[in-house]
Amino acid sequence: CGALVAGLFKQSTGGADKFIKQLGFTDLYLGSKEFPHKLGLAQTVPIPGLLSLQENFPVPIPQPIAEFLLKRMLVITGIVEDLPQQENRIEVGQDGKIRLFHKFHSYDVFRSRYYMTKLKRVFRSAGAILCFGAMGHKDDIHTSHQVGTTRFGKDPNTSVLDQDCRLHDHENVFVVDGGFMPNALGVSPALTIAANALRVGDIMLQKAII
Helices (H), the chain: 50-56, 63-71, 106-125, 190-206
The rounded distance, in Å, linking the Cα atoms of 8 and 183 is 33
User: Which member of 37, 145, 168, 170 is catalytic?
Assistant: 145
Type and span of the H or E element at 194: helix 190-206
Residues 6+ apart with CB under 8 A from 58: none
Active site residue 145: yes
Q: Which of 71, 94, 87, 80 is nearest to 20 (CA)?
A: 71
d(CA 68, CA 51): 13
Instruction: Please give the positions annotated as active site.
Output: 145
